[in-house]
Every structure is written in C-alpha cells, then in structure tokens.
Structure 1
Amino acid sequence: MDVIRPRRPHHKSRTGCLQCKTRKVKCDEKKPSCQKCENYGSTCSYLHTHPMKSLHSQCSTMMRRNSKSKSPLAETLSAKLESSPGPVVSPTTSPGPSSYSFSILDMELLHYYTMYGVSDFADFVSGQELFQTTVVELAFQFPFLMHEILAFAALQLSHARPLKAAYYHEASTTHLTTALQLFQPAISDLTIENCQACFAFTVILFTFAWTSQDSNLPNHLFFGPDGAENESTFPHSQWVRLYRGYQMVISSTWQELHRGPFKVLFEPWSNFHEDYIPPLDPTDDIHLSSLSSAWSSTSPCDLPLEQRRGLDRALDMLKRVFGLLRAPNAPSPVSVVMSWFSSIPDEVEAMMARKVKEALLLVAYYCVCIHRTSNLSLMSGKGKNLLKTTLDVLGPGWETWTAWPIEVVLGREWRGGKTMSVDFISGAS
C-alpha cells in the first residue's frame, strides 16, 4: 500500500520582481536586479523600487574601474566615491549610434530638453544655444551623452508633471544607468575626439545631481548624514567632489575646450583674475569679514594654523562670489555660485565632509549666495534647505555668526516658528 506523503509546504514569496511574476518563475530577489532578469536581458522592477541604490552602485563601480586610468577625472572620482556591492555590466567599446533605437518617449524627452530643460540650468543666451545645439549634435555621435540628456530631461519632467512622476523617474533611472556604463570607457581614454562630449557629460551629470536633491529632506551636499545614507537616496555628499573632479577634465583638455564651442563658458571669466575680489555690498562685507573671528588666533578655536589659513582662503573665495554676483559684466550667476566648489582648498572641503564647525559656518554663508539666485529653477529652495541642514549640524553656540544668514535666507520670522532645527535659533540676535 502506497503511503501518501504530505506535500512540503511552499512559502510563496510576494516580494519578487514584477517580471518574474509575469513569467511565473521563482525570483531570487537579488537587488538591484534579479538573476532571471539579467539572464533574460530585461529591465528588473527592482531597478525602479531601488533606483538610487542601483545608480550609486553603477557610478561607484565605474569609478573603481577607472582608478587604473590616467584620466584626471577618473582618478579623482574613483578615490572619492564609496564602493557599493552588486554586479554591474561591464561595457565594451561603445557601439555606434546606428546600433541604438530610441522610443517615442525618448523623442519627447529630447524635445523637452531642447525647448525647456536647458534654460533651467544655462542662465545666459550663448550657454543655452551651446547646450541646445552643439551638445545635442555631440550626443548623436556619443550615445553616453544622449542617454544622459534623456535621463536629465526625464528627471525634470518628473518634477514638472507630478501626476506622471513615477513614469518619468523610471525612464530617468534607466537612461542614466546606461549613460554611466557607456561613459566608463570614454573617460578612461580621454582624447581630443571625445573630450568635448566627456566635458558636456560631467557638466550635465553635476546638474542632474543638483536637480535631484529633495528639498523635503536634509541637504547633504557638503557632508553626509551621521549614519549611513539610506539606500534609496543618492549619495549627494559626493557631488561637491564630482564638481571639483570635472574641473580636472578642464585642466587636462583646456586648450581643446577653449578653442572649441565650449569657449563661451570660459570667456566671461577672462576679465576676472582668479584672485580678484570685486567690491562687496557694505553690509555683506561687514558680516563676511567678521566671520574669520570664529577661527582667528584670538578665538577659542584649536584648529592647526594650516587649517585656519585654508579657512581664510575659502572665505576670500566666498567674498569673490559675493562680489561677482553684483559686478557688471560678470559671468552668469549660476556659474559664479558654482565656482566656489572648485576654488575652496582641498583641506577645507575635507573639513566640511568631517563636519568641522568652523568650516560649516562657511557653508551657512554660502547659502546666502545660493538664495540670491533662487529665481532660477535650478537654485530654487536649495539655499534654504542647505542652511537648515547646516544649522542642525552646527547646533547651539554659533549664534553670533549664524544670525545673519538666517535672517537673509530664512527670514526673521523663521526663528520663532516651527522649524526642523533645535531651539538655539531663539538666541540669535
């Protein structure tokens, strides 16, 4: 007589990816992309539920692989970005444009970029024309640039059309992941032929990171959170270093970039020596000049002399930004504000990352510059968000220096209202 054995219980998982559910196969739930989807060559839905984790992994792996390259940007970024686990497709030599097909959605994204998207970050006519025409023409030759343009446009549309935000965000993540994969071999072998496309890529990549900051969350542009960053958020604390890294591309290919169409980005700076500080507004000058008292030899500050000198240099460069924002015939406001990222000494940038309080005071005053360009969509709300985060990290005891940026950026009424910060604001004069 046959003994009927009881069936082994099957505990069905309800957290598998959508693609495996459709195929009715078991999903190994590996993130950011399950093995079945990798085998099928399809886009796993985990890339959509964990998009920033995937993107961080792609970007970090790209930089690690580039660490053996002689490219200045690769060397800079590979040393800066943290590594993340997870497999990444290793791209071979990028196929030609004819190997790619683009959808109706991609045409919509390209149209939005050329008609509206460029004006969000290029705030002067010749710069807009450059990114609307020349950069798009380069993108037809270099697919990594085309995918990045489409990723950026999709990100912008996810903000402009909130009812379809998830739809555009998915497209943005997919295109940017592809762009980073294809960019890897190009930046590893920077040449006269590809340097313009690589430079355009790094400019738009930084703009992408800046745009993707969530104003409802703490801003970690200069420094990371106390704990590990949530896997669903992009590591924004690395993007100041990214901007500084793209300046390395300029230095290594300066002659070629300066002779070509990108010269319109550099020409406005030709009349301003790198150490020249234009006249400041008297009120700005008073507050900025008093800031150095936080780390001067007569202060309780115990920082080494070399670090104090670095802070003095960063403060001078911040005064330069304040002066250029009101100087006639100066470069565009966005260019001026962003220039501080590349002008601060390496030691000061490292101090900001370590949350040294005296260095964070510089960030608080920098928020005033960001706020004064908030009429531009790229900058809107960024100054307020960064200042609130900086105040939280600073804590009490710095009211002598924080009162002015609070008043300019957040307004006097902010002190007595409900804030994301602690009660030390009430002691500000």
Structure 2
Amino acid sequence: MSTKRPHRKSRFGCDQCRKRRVKCDEQQPRCAACTHRDEPCRFSRFPRAWRQDGTPSHSDSPPTEPQAETVCIPTSDASICAEPPTSHDMDISMLSCPGSSSSRFQELELMHYWCTRTSSSFSQENTMVFRDYVVQQALRFGFLMEALLAVTSVHLACEAKDANLAHAHVSAALQYQTKAMAGLRSTLSTLSPLNCDAVFVSSMLVMVCSIVSPLISTARIDSIKSTAEAILTLVDLVKGIRSIHHVGRAWLIEGPLRWFCGGVFDLPPISFSSPLGVLRDLNSAMSCDPVQHIFNHAIDELEQAHQSKKSVVPWLLAMKPAFLEELKKDNSVAVAIFMHWGVMLDQLDDMWWAKYAGRRLVEEMSTTLDSRGEEWRQLTAWCRTQVGLCQE
C-alpha cells in the first residue's frame, strides 16, 4: 500500500493567497505568488510567539488551537471610537516602568496614541503604512515594538504642558529605546528580506528619539542636553542606518516602505540660495582643505535636498563621516550648516518631531553662533526668522 506524501499546510499565508485558496510560501515582505502576479502582498496572520529576529519560537511544531490570530488595526477615522488622550490628560502617577505588569494599561494607551496621532506624523500620504503595516511588523519583531513605544512616548513628552510629566514620558521613552537598540544589535548580523523592513523602521524611529528627546525641557536640570551633545549620539546611529539602507535597498523597494527610498516632501517655497551663498563664502574664508571640501559637499547636498524635495529628512544619511566628526567638535561652519537643516526640518508641518527639533536646533545653534562673532549674525537672523523665533 502506497504511503501518503506528507503535506505541509500553509498556516500563515498572505491574505491574497488565502483568498484565492492557493498555497503560500509565506516569504515576506512579498510571497512568490504575489511577486509572480505583480500584486500587493499583505500578511495579517502570524504565530503567537516570535523571537527578536522575527522567526517563530517553535517553527518546527504547529501552534495549538487557535492556530493563528488576526490582528485588525483601524484603517479609517470612522473605526476610531474614542479620542486619543492628550499628554495633559494623563496622570503622572499612571506612568510606570516599561515591562512591569502595571505598565500594560500604559502601553495600550501608547498604542492607541500611535494609531490615532503619532503614525500620521511621518508622511500624510503613507499614514496607513505606519498605522497598519508597521504595527503588524511590530507584533512580530519585539525591537520594533519597543521603538514604536519609544517614539510615541517622546511625542507625548513634546506635547506635555507639565515639566514633570514631560520628564516621565522621556524617561519611559529612553527605557523603550534602550530595549529597541539591544534588539537591533542582535538582529543586524542576520539582516534578510524577512526582517529588513522592521530593522529599517526601527532604526529611523530610534533616530527620531535620539534627535528629539535630549531637546525636551523637563523638570530635571541634569537631564537637559545641548544640541551638540544630542548630535554625539547620532553619529554611530546614522552610520548604521546608512549600512541598513545600502544592504537592504533592493528589499525595501519591493515592499510598502519603497517611498522611503525616494519620498517627496511638500516644502514651502523658501529661497535658500542667498543664505547658502553666504555660508559658502564663510566656509571659503574660515576653512581649509580637506575640511572645506567636506563642508561644500554638505552645503551642496542641503541645497539639492531642498530643490528636489526628496531628501530633507534623510539628509543626515548623505553626510560623510568627516562632517559628523566636525559637528561633534562644534566647528562653527558645521554648526551653521546644521542650523540651516533645522530650518528645513521646521518647514515639515505634518511631522511634529521634525518641526519641534528644527525649531530647537535653530534656537540653540543661532545663540551659539551669535556669541562667536558678527560674521554669523546675518545667517542666524535669517534662520530665526524662518522658524518664527523673530519677526522679519
């Protein structure tokens, strides 16, 4: 009697394959069937337990019933049944240490705030990607969930009216961020199409936290850092994001995050030609090669970013390591270039974190440059006017 050939059931196939009742190879971000048919591929089923690297904790044995869970994320404003709590509505006593049993309600509130507010602050056209796809990925990859909770906590801190509450949110954000970084480090050595999206988004969210959190005014004087100190934490992180983007670009452009590889941002028609011309003149007068060449490259990239409207936020990724090192040294020309980037960030009205960070960067760096001589006053006055710190 012939034996029946074993058959492996596709338990966690994509929605399209399940709808067509065909077997799915479960490869992400796009299965072979959807790739062949050139159709969008979406997964809404996955095992209950996943490791940090995104693989099932018991990949060889099927889960007990129920075999899979479907996670539904609100996809329209009509499905939201309550207004998200604002930061000043929250009681500081409700904020607990992330990971403790008492933090469960707090993290549910953070997820609600992410879905209703924070997820729309990266790209209005791609809000659904952050509200739906990124959350699904976060349920698979623990480090992405930690990064998501971290940036949402920072968002609440920025909107907090009370300095003590802002400090509590920042403290929670830093704890989530630390866990996210630990998970990222353990996953980078196994970067693959399966986890590339989660790794890339996590690194971007951690970068947002690293830019904004040190700039938030809190009740703790010792917690306030200068912009220069904040930038120190970005150097290695930016290098890591550049590596992830370089290695995973071919995978990113095949999935929902393809717009990250060439997104266009709606910027107001501000003329950068005159201030950047003054900046080039100051660079020529105050810098020597090879630093002068490095700064000219940074200025050219900044001008190109504004003209093309494609690289405003990822401008840091295009910077040479030598420029970041000069920024660490508090070089005046490097500070002035970064101040102009702050102006461009401030123009991104849809992105709370960019506008907040841009205004703070301009405020602090213009004050620093004003103290270094009259030659900087023309540039600092222009930048402060653009972000609304002074009248024209």
1:404 correspondence with 2:379: yes
1:254 correspondence with 2:243: no
Whole-Å separation in 2 of the counterparts to 1:206 and 1:112: 20
Contact 2:147 2:176 in 1 (8 A): yes
Q: 1:308 to 1:125 in 2, by over 3 A?
A: same
Map 1:177-188 → 2, pairs under 5 A: 177-188=178-189
Whole-Å separation in 1 of the counterparts to 2:214 and 2:350: 17
Aligned to 2:338: 363
1:136, distance to aligned residue in structure 2 (A): 0.9
Map 1:190-209 → 2, pairs under 5 A: 190-209=191-210
Structure 1: 4+ residue segments shifted above 6 A: 91-95, 411-416
Aligned to 1:286: 274
Identity between Structure 1 and Structure 2 (%):
17
1:110, distance to aligned residue in structure 2 (A): 1.2
Whole-Å separation in 2 of the counterparts to 1:412 and 1:267: 26
TM-score, normalization by structure 1 = 0.58
Whole-Å separation in 1 of the counterparts to 2:340 and 2:53: 45
Aligned to 1:40: none
Contact 1:147 1:178 in 2 (8 A): yes
1:220, distance to aligned residue in structure 2 (A): 4.1
1:132, distance to aligned residue in structure 2 (A): 1.0
Match of 2:330, SS state, is coil
Whole-Å separation in 2 of the counterparts to 1:350 and 1:96: 41
Whole-Å separation in 1 of the counterparts to 2:293 and 2:362: 24
Contact 2:193 2:251 in 1 (8 A): yes
Q: 1:256 to 1:410 in 2, by over 3 A?
A: same
Match of 2:192, SS state, is coil
Whole-Å separation in 1 of the counterparts to 2:167 and 2:298: 40
Contact 2:156 2:166 in 1 (8 A): yes
Q: 1:413 to 1:110 in 2, by over 3 A?
A: closer
**Counterpart code for 2:184:** F
Whole-Å separation in 1 of the counterparts to 2:386 and 2:255: 44
Whole-Å separation in 2 of the counterparts to 1:92 and 1:119: 26
Aligned to 1:237: 232
Contact 1:147 1:176 in 2 (8 A): yes
What are the superposed Cα offsets for residues 77-96 of structure 1, whole Å, 9 maximum, x if unpaired? xxxxxxxxxxxxxx998896
What are the superposed Cα offsets for residues 378-424 of structure 1, whole Å, 9 maximum, x if unpaired? 133433422343244435454334323324425899789xxxxxxxx
Map 1:73-84 → 2, pairs under 5 A: none
1:255, distance to aligned residue in structure 2 (A): 0.8
Q: 1:346 to 1:204 in 2, by over 3 A?
A: same
What are the superposed Cα offsets for residues 27-50 of structure 1, whole Å, 9 maximum, x if unpaired? xxxxxxxxxxxxxxxxxxxxxxxx
Contact 1:150 1:172 in 2 (8 A): yes
Match of 1:146, SS state, is helix
Aligned to 1:116: 117
Whole-Å separation in 2 of the counterparts to 1:376 and 1:185: 30
What are the superposed Cα offsets for residues 193-249 of structure 1, whole Å, 9 maximum, x if unpaired? 22221111101111222331335487644x33xxxxxxxxxx542225423421210
Contact 2:369 2:376 in 1 (8 A): no
Aligned to 2:148: 149
Q: Higher mean Cα deviation, 357-366 or 255-264?
A: 357-366
Whole-Å separation in 2 of the counterparts to 1:259 and 1:412: 37
What are the superposed Cα offsets for residues 331-378 of structure 1, whole Å, 9 maximum, x if unpaired? 4xxxx3222212223222211211222222222333332333356421
Q: 1:257 to 1:213 in 2, by over 3 A?
A: same
1:345 correspondence with 2:320: yes
Aligned to 1:317: 301
Q: 1:338 to 1:241 in 2, by over 3 A?
A: farther
Cα RMSD of the aligned pairs, angstroms, is: 3.7
Q: 1:213 to 1:107 in 2, by over 3 A?
A: same
Whole-Å separation in 2 of the counterparts to 1:142 and 1:92: 5
Contact 1:213 1:236 in 2 (8 A): no
Whole-Å separation in 2 of the counterparts to 1:382 and 1:172: 16
Contact 1:384 1:410 in 2 (8 A): no
Q: 1:404 to 1:265 in 2, by over 3 A?
A: same
What are the superposed Cα offsets for residues 254-282 of structure 1, whole Å, 9 maximum, x if unpaired? 1111112211222436xxxxxxxx9x86x
TM-score, normalization by structure 2 = 0.63
Map 1:63-74 → 2, pairs under 5 A: none
Aligned to 1:130: 129
Whole-Å separation in 1 of the counterparts to 2:139 and 2:52: 19
Whole-Å separation in 2 of the counterparts to 1:92 and 1:135: 15
**Counterpart code for 2:180:** A
Contact 1:243 1:342 in 2 (8 A): yes
Contact 1:151 1:176 in 2 (8 A): yes
Aligned to 1:308: 292
Whole-Å separation in 2 of the counterparts to 1:408 and 1:208: 24
Whole-Å separation in 1 of the counterparts to 2:144 and 2:208: 14
Q: 1:175 to 1:305 in 2, by over 3 A?
A: closer
